[in-house]
């Protein structure tokens, strides 16, 4: 499977600011996704990051709040904008397909633990 890294691994931010999270894969992948895991909860898909075009957002998530970029087949960013304490979560990227291996299996990065004060 692919090696997936995320930066930063954790951060503490002030209300009203924005944070950009990076996801880097060591091989080209077909699909990249961003998930949110609120404290003690399961994972919820935020959006699918599409290479060279706008991301596809799930119900309840909007581009103005969570802008996403995917400039190539190995890299994506998620920005959490105008943060509030409710945005405190673990944010995870995942990848599927291409050189990452099986086309029906997602592999996850280590996550970014965000705390908003």
Residue 109 to residue 56: CA distance in whole angstroms: 20
Considering the complex, state which of residue 75 and residue 107 has its C-beta at the smaller distance from other proteins.
107
Q: Which residues contact 105 (CB under 8 A, 6 or more apart)?
A: 96
| SS3 label, residue 43 | strand
Considering the complex, state which of residue 18 and residue 56 has its C-beta at the smaller distance from other proteins.
56
- Residue 64 CB neighbour total at 10 angstroms: 7
CB of 72 to other proteins, least distance (A): 21
Phi (first) and psi of residue 111, to 5 degrees: 90, 155
CB of 16 to other proteins, least distance (A): 28
Binding residues vs other proteins (CB under 8 A): 1, 33, 41-45, 48, 56, 58, 92, 94, 104-111
Phi (first) and psi of residue 99, to 5 degrees: -75, -5
CB of 43 to other proteins, least distance (A): 5
Considering the complex, state which of residue 81 and residue 97 has its C-beta at the smaller distance from other proteins.
97
Considering the complex, state which of residue 33 and residue 66 has its C-beta at the smaller distance from other proteins.
33
CB of 81 to other proteins, least distance (A): 23
CB 113 within 8 A of CB 9: yes
């Amino acid at each position: 499977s692919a090696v997936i890294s995320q930066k930063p691994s954790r951060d503490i931010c002030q209300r009203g600011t924005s944070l950009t999270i990076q996801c880097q894969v060591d091989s080209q992948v077909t699909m990249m996704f961003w998930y949110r895991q609120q404290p003690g909860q399961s994972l919820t898909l935020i959006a699918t990051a599409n290479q060279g075009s706008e991301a596809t957002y799930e119900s309840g998530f909007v581009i103005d709040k969570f802008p996403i970029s995917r400039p190539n087949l190995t890299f994506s960013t998620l920005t959490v904008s105008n943060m509030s304490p409710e945005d405190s979560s673990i944010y995870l990227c995942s990848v599927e397909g291409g050189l990452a291996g099986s086309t029906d299996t997602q592999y996850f990065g280590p996550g970014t633990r965000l705390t908003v004060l």
